Structures are given as structure tokens and as C-alpha cells.
Chains A and B, each alone.
Chain A
Amino acid sequence: MSGNNGNTPAIVAEGLVRRFGDFTAVDGVSFRVEAGGIFGFLGPNGSGKTTVIKMLTGLLPLSAGEAQVQGLNVRTESEGVRERIGYMSQNFSLYNDLTVTENLQFYGRIYGLEPDRLRRRMNEIVELNGLEPYLSRLAGKLSGGWKQRLALGCAMLHEPKLLFLDEPTAGIDPVARRQLWDLLFELSGHGITFFVTTHYMDEAERCSHVAYIYFGRIIADGTPEALKSLPDVNPPGTKRIEVATPEVTRALRLARQIPGIRSATIFGESIHALIEENCDLADLRGQLASQGIRVTEIRPLTPSLEDVFVELTSKHQAALEARGEVVHA
């Protein structure tokens, strides 16, 4: 039996396919998750994120392809895989009529922890997640943030080196969301690898590696920095700028008519635009001012991950349509 030494990647997925009847939910997905760090798995609803997690954790059989998790083949060594991973599902999977302590004890026993080790791990988890005040409370009576902390605690009692978190912050208030990410960073500092799905772009920005899945196919895969400097996102001869103005809606309508501006979208109180490289910013400001638009600031911009995904998604969509494959977005 092969275990995980420092060099083995946490996950290697090669050509994963999952079909449900005629529908192909996951279509030839390959990626690699190095040990340590936080791997962000992004994509719109129904794009196949949860299906991929279920295939990697052994909940769903693979229709085709191969996957190694912690160096073990998920097809043939699924029991070994299950011993080495932790999994936290979207709905936190706790027993609402059991107390916090009882939930922890149950999951500890399920993983076969000896009483001494169980006690030690419970103390560690309780301290790490700040669960002390709630130990004798029923899990069903906890707020969303505390449920999520308890679920995370249950998933890591057996000291897995790899944790799958399926939308861990869905439906959690912003403070709890921030606290969870701080905790994830702390844990990943101790050498635990995280595979996290999320909708939130700010969370994606904090990941050490990001993959974007779109209708069953991976269309972006790399560190956030690498993705932001992709040629597809930064076509040669163009640059990105941010134009801050109090009148974004009217400014956007005008900006789209100015030659030299390839595309423009609203981001809050400003406009993000992709413009010709030789376009002069002072000139642009002048053109907008002549139309009565007061520009408070205009400056060069590095693309955000959201820019990256919007760009890649529309390119991918266009490519599919060109090949005659219909995609219902």
C-alpha cells in the first residue's frame, strides 16, 4: 500500500468522465493538486463541481478516466482513500439531535480512533475551532457559522492530510466566512491540503491554485497570478483600465462608442475597460469630459479573477457555438 510522502501530489485526475444517462456532467476533466496549499475549484451552479468531489471521494463511480487521491487509486483502493481524506458537504451533515460533543465522538469512533487519541484530538479540535462554549448544545441549535465549524472539526478528527470542502461558506454570514478562511490558512500552514469549491471571487483570490469548470470542462487552471496574465485575458496590444465616475451607467454607454475601447463593464462605482495599448488616458478623460461625464480617477488595472473567468467563459462559449455545440447557459 502506498502512502503519501511529501512529494506525492494530493490529487491527480486524468480524463475524469461522469455520465448520468445521456447527460455528461463531467467531460474529460484533468488536473493536479500539489500537497499543501488551498486548491480553489470554481464554476457556476450545475457545472459539475460537486460531481467531481463525489468522484474523488468515492461517492460516485467514474464513467471513465483515472484518479489518484493521496497516491491511492480511487477505483481500486477506495477504502484507503476514505481513511485518508476528510469531507465536508454543502449541508454540513451533522446529527441535529446530538450535542457537539456527541457528534465529535461519533465521527471519531467511526474512524476507529482509540479512546486516548480521540480525547486528545477532540481537545485540539475544540480549541482550534473555539467550540468550548457549545460542547453540550445540540448541533441543531447552533447558528450556521458554528455548524460549519463543528462539521469541519468532525471532518478532520482523524487527521487527514487532504480535506474536501464543498461550498463551505454558502449561507454563512460574512464574519464567519472570514474566520473560516483564516482557519483554513492556519491549517494549510500545518501541511493540510484543501480542495475547496466556492462561488465567491474574493475567496478564489485567496487560493494558492484555482481551476474553473464550465459545463463539465475545465477552462482555466493555474495560480491566480498565472491566470491573470494569460494571453487570452490580456490580448497583445491592449491594456486594462479602471475609470471611476459617479455616473457609471451613462459613462458606460458613451465609453462603448469611443474608438479604442474594445470592451467595458460596470464594477460598482467604476468602469473596467479593455483598451488599445496606444490609447492615451488623458485623451480618454477629455473625451468623456466633453460629454459632461465627471471622471474622478482613471488608472491602469490588473485583471481580477472575475475578469479572467468572464473573458474565458465567453471565449469558450463562442468556440462551442462555432463548432455547433449548443450550450444552455
Chain B
Amino acid sequence: MRDVFRGFGAVFFKETLHVRRDSAALFFSLMIPLLQIFLLGFGIDTNIRQVNTVVYNEDGRRESRELIDRLRNSDTFRVIGYVQDDQHLNDAIISGRARVGVKIPVDYSDKLLHQMSAQVLVLIDGSDSSVAGQAINVTTAIGLDESLRRVLPARVALPVDMRPKLLFNPDSRSPNFFLPGLTAILLLNVTTFLTAFSIVREKEHGTLEQLFVTPVRPMGLLFGKLLPYLGVGFFELCLILFFMRVVFQVPIHGNVLLLAFLSLPYIFVSLSLGILISSKANSQSEAIQLAFITFLPSIFFSGYIFPRETMPLIFYAISYLIPATYYINITRGIILRGAGIQHLWLDGLVLFAMGTLLLLVAARRFRNKVVAV
């Protein structure tokens, strides 16, 4: 059995020397993900607030000004200007200056006074669906609320009173939602590139061919390559968690040791993926191309940005093949929902199985080159 891993010690030792020697490359591969944490952590807010809005108030009396104040106070809209005709209202939206245009007709106050239905036109730029959705919801709600206030006598309780309560992320903070998912993407990025490059570099220098005429066995070679970068990936994870907790104040509700433990199979999958890529790629640029083929689905289909539940069935099925899907469930589960091993053991197991499968395929591809049969 020891024979299967022949050469492991030699490769492992040499690979740690490479990592230590090329400290500049290591520094950058560790720092760039942290930079992304900062960019996304500070820069992205999924809550839609202060949408640029122009108002064409034909009416101009008290009732119409009250309505505009209510829109303002909702925090969703920010009135950036008033226009005096339909032409300018349209232009403001077409030019992108405003996302929403509100037109209050000249007879708004009159109709309210005469208990007739007063119409308000709300033009919404549909080119960004999440902004549009939020604008529709808030304007409809304000309209409904305003109507009820006028129809119902004062101080009457509403027959149905919905009280939504946000669990786990009560303030609906974006970093809490984004950073646990981002952890998965960044870890994938770093570890896949590191292993893929370490092998492709040996191909380019001809040292891999040299290794193939020595008695080293594929598993010895691959594990010797893999373990040092498992260490690097784990260190990167600790850095990310540290910044997430300390700088962005994302509370970790579950057990951080469990998170560390369940991260190992995910790092293992990413490393195996890197090795598989390197068995195909003959140059570093080819490795980058292949790596991107795996990154984009990980970003879009793992639930990191778009909820998996709204995907068409086929893509929902594909999402089950993506390691990041399981790991994002683990990170969000432990960090946000305080989930325990009883909720997440299956995700960990699936990741471990995926990593083993990828590694076996990669070893097979290398064995075909090592052993001339």
C-alpha cells in the first residue's frame, strides 16, 4: 500500500520549499482575495435604497406634496429634481439620470376631495429588475396605505396584521449575506490556481517528464503536490474569516471549528480540480482558460448571487454538480443560521466524494503517462 504513494515525501518536501521560496507569488495569491473581500464587503449593498426619482407635479397643492413626502420618507426614493412636462419626465429616465418618474396629475387633490379615485403615474426603468421590483412594491404599498388611511376611520385596527420577522440577519446587512458565499468563491479561486500552476509549471520546464522516468507513483506525486496547498488554502480561509468577523462584524452563530473542519473537504475538491485542469493544460494560459470555465458556473449557479430556487429545472439540477453549492450551504449555515454537524454532514460528505472522484480521474490521466501500458 505504501508503494502506491511512492515519492510522496520527496514531492511534499520539495513543494513546501517552492511555496516558501516564491513568497511574492504566495503573498499576492493570498492578498488579492482579501482585497476582493474589502471591495465587495464595503462596496456592495443588496438593499435598494435612495433610488433616483424625478417628479412632475402638475397639481402642486398640499395633498400632492404630502404624497411626495411619503415617497421620500420611505428611504427607497430620492427626489433629484422636478420637471414641468411629460417630455422632460421621459428624458430623465431615458438618459439614466433617474430610475423612477412620478407624475401627479393636475386634478389629484380635486379627486381626493370629491372621494373619487385619484390616479398617479409611476414610470419605472425596467432595465434593472431588482430596482424595478423594489420600486413597484414600495409605490404600491404607499398607495394602499394612503388609501386605507382615507377610507378607514382613525384608530381602527386592521383585520389582518402581517408581522414579518427576519431571522439570522435582522438588519438585512449585505456583508452578512455576501461574505460567507464569497469565501467559497475565493477559496476555489486561490487553491485551484495554485495547484494547477504548480503542475503546469513543471510541464513547461520539463521537470514533470523527468519525474515520470523516476519510480514516483501518480498518487505519491499528486498527494505531495496537494497537501502543501491544502495548508495554504486553510491559512487563506482563516484570514478570510478573521477579516469577515473583525472588519465587517459578521457574527458567526455556529461553531467556528466545525466550519474549519467542513472546509477541508471543499479545499480538497478545489485542489483536485486544479490537478485535473493541469492534466489537460500544457501552459499556464491554458490553465487560466480552463479554470475560468469552472469559476463562472460556481459564481452563477451555486446560489452565491442568484437564488437557486428560481432557476429553470435544468440549471437547478446542474447546481447540484457544483462543489461551491454545498460549501455555500455550509458557510451560510454555520455563520448565519448557527447550523450544526447534524444539518451539514451530508454536504461535507458530498464534497469529500467529489474531491476523491476528481483526484482519481486526474491520477488516471497521469498514470497513463507514467506507466507505458
Chain A min CB distance to B25 (Å): 10
CA distance A71 to B13 in the complex (A): 33
* Known A57-B213, A91-B206, A107-B214; contact A97-B372, beta-carbon cutoff 8 A: no
Nearest-neighbour CB distance to chain A for B206, whole angstroms, equals: 5
Given contacts A78-B373, A91-B206, A93-B205, is CB(A98)–CB(B21) below 8 Å? yes
Q: Are B373 and A102 in contact (CB under 8 A)?
A: no
Q: Given A98-B18, A109-B10, A112-B6, 19 more contacts at CB 8 Å?
A: A59-B209, A59-B372, A60-B372, A61-B373, A75-B372, A76-B373, A79-B215, A79-B371, A82-B213, A85-B213, A93-B209, A94-B205, A95-B207, A98-B21, A102-B14, A106-B13, A106-B14, A107-B214, A110-B214
B260 at the interface (CB under 8 A from A): no
- CB pairs A–B below 8 angstroms (29 shown): A57-B213, A58-B212, A58-B370, A58-B371, A59-B209, A59-B212, A76-B373, A78-B371, A78-B372, A82-B213, A82-B215, A85-B213, A87-B213, A91-B206, A93-B205, A95-B14, A95-B205, A97-B18, A97-B21, A98-B18, A102-B17, A106-B13, A107-B214, A109-B9, A110-B10, A110-B11, A110-B216, A112-B6, A112-B7
**Closest CB in chain A relative to B204 CB, distance in Å:** 10
A58's partner among B206, B213, B216 (CB-CB below 8 A) is: B213
- Expressed in whole angstroms, the minimum distance between the Cβ of A135 and any Cβ of chain B is 15
Q: Which residue of B lies closest to A154 (CB)?
A: B210
A58 to B213, CA, bound (A): 7
The answer to whether A61 and B372 touch (CB under 8 A), given A87-B210, A110-B214, is: yes
A219-273 with Cβ < 8 A to chain B: none
Query: Complex Cα distance A301/B373, Å?
Result: 50
When each residue 1-32 of chain B gets 1 if its CB lies under 8 Å from chain A and 0 otherwise, what string results? Answer: 00000110111011001100110000000000
| Given A59-B212, A87-B213: A98 and B373 interface contact (C-beta under 8 Å) | no
A109: nearest chain-B partner, CB-CB: B10
In the assembled complex, how far is the CB of residue B15 from the closest CB belonging to chain A, in whole angstroms? 10
Is residue B211 within 8 Å, beta carbon to beta carbon, of the partner chain?
yes
How distant is A137 from chain B, measured CB to nearest CB, in Å? 13
A200 within 8 A of B: no
Known contacts A58-B371, A111-B214; decide if A89 and B209 are in contact (CB<8 Å).
yes
> Closest residue of chain B to A62, judged by CB?
B372
Q: Please give, as numbers and ranges, the residues of chain B lying within 8 Å of A89 by CB-CB distance.
A: 206, 209-210
Shortest Cβ distance from A138 into B: residue: B21
B212: A residues at CB distance < 8 A: 58-59
A83 contact set on B, CB distance < 8 A: 215
| Complex contact B373–A91 (CB within 8 A) | no
B interface majority secondary structure = helix
Tell me which residues across on chain A come within 8 A of B9, comparing CB atoms.
109
Dominant secondary structure at the A interface? loop
Name B18's closest neighbour in chain A (CB-CB).
Answer: A97
- B209: chain A residues at CB < 8 Å are 59, 89, 93
Q: Which residues of A contact B6 (CB under 8 A)?
A: 112
Nearest-neighbour CB distance to chain B for A33, whole angstroms, equals: 17
Q: How far is the CA of A87 from the CA of B372 in the complex (A)?
A: 16
A66 to chain B, nearest CB (A): 13
Question: Given B13, B206, B215, which contacts A112 in the complex, CB threshold below 8 Å?
Answer: B215
Q: How far is the CB of A23 from chain B (nearest CB, A)?
A: 19
Q: What CA separation (Å) do A97 and B201 show in the bound complex?
A: 12
Q: Is the CB of A93 within 8 A of B206?
A: yes
Among residues of B, the one whose C-beta sits closest to the C-beta of A95 is B207
User: Chain A nearest CB: distance from B265 CB in Å?
Assistant: 29
Binary A-proximity of B190-224 (CB < 8 A = 1, otherwise 0): 00000000000000011101111111100000000
Q: Is the CB of A91 within 8 A of B22?
A: no
A302: Cβ under 8 A from any B Cβ = no
- Could you say which residues of chain A place their CB within 8 Å of the CB of B213? 57-59, 82, 85, 87
Inter-chain contacts of A106 with B (CB < 8 A): 10, 13-14
In the assembled complex, the Cα of A55 lies from the Cα of B210 at a distance in Å of 14
Q: Which residues of A contact B11 (CB under 8 A)?
A: 110
Given the complex, which residues of B lie within 8 Å of A136, measured CB to CB?
Answer: none
| Residues in B whose Cβ lies below 8 Å from that of A62 | 372
Chain B residues positioned under 8 Å from A76 (CB to CB):
373
Tally A residues with Cβ within 8 Å of B: 33
Residues 16-67 of B at the A interface (beta carbon under 8 Å): 17-18, 21-22
Does A45 reach chain B (CB closer than 8 Å)? no
Query: Which residues of A in the span 40-82 have a Cβ within 8 Å of any Cβ on B?
Result: 55, 57-62, 74-76, 78-79, 82
Which residues from chain A contact B18 at a C-beta distance below 8 Å? 95, 97-98
- Which residues 85-131 of B have a CB within 8 angstroms of A? none
B323 CB → nearest A CB, Å: 31
CB distance from A120 to the nearest CB of B (A): 18
Q: Give Cα distance in the complex from A85 to B214, angstroms.
A: 8
A contact residues around B17 at 8 Å (CB): 97-98, 102
The CA-CA distance from A78 to B217 in the complex, in Å, is 12
The reply to whether B14 and A98 contact each other, CB–CB distance below 8 Å, is yes
Interface flag for A96 (CB, 8 Å): yes
Interface centre among A74, A78, A83 (most CB of B within 10 A): A78
**A91–B372 touching, CB < 8 Å:** no
CB distance from A308 to the nearest CB of B (A): 32
Top 6 A-B pairs, shortest CB-CB distance: A109-B10, A93-B210, A87-B213, A61-B372, A110-B10, A58-B372
Q: Are B214 and A91 in contact (CB under 8 A)?
A: no
Let me know if A110 and B207 touch, CB within 8 A: no
Residues of A within 8 A of B369 (CB): 59
Q: What is the CA–CA distance of A108 and B287 in the complex, to the nearest angstrom?
A: 30
- Chain A neighbourhood of B205, CB < 8 A: 91, 93-96
Give B340-373 as 1s and 0s: 1 = Cβ < 8 Å from A's Cβ atoms. Answer: 0000000000000000000000000000011111
Min C-beta distance of A289 to chain B, whole Å: 57
Measured CB to CB, the nearest residue on chain B to A102 is: B17
* Chain A, residue nearest B207 (CB): A93
Q: Cα distance A58–B370 when bound, in Å?
A: 7
The residues of B that contact A82 with a CB separation of less than 8 Å are 213-215
Q: Give the chain A neighbours of B10 by CB distance below 8 A.
A: 106, 109-110
Residues of A within 8 A of B211 (CB): 110
Question: Which residues of chain A are near B370, meaning CB under 8 Å?
Answer: 58
User: Nearest A residue to B3 by beta-carbon distance?
Assistant: A79
Give the CA-CA distance A184 to B370 in the complex, in Å: 28
Expressed in whole angstroms, the Cα–Cα distance for A106 and B205 within the complex equals 16
B370 to A: closest C-beta gap in Å: 8
How far, in angstroms, from A82 to B7 measured CA to CA in the complex? 13
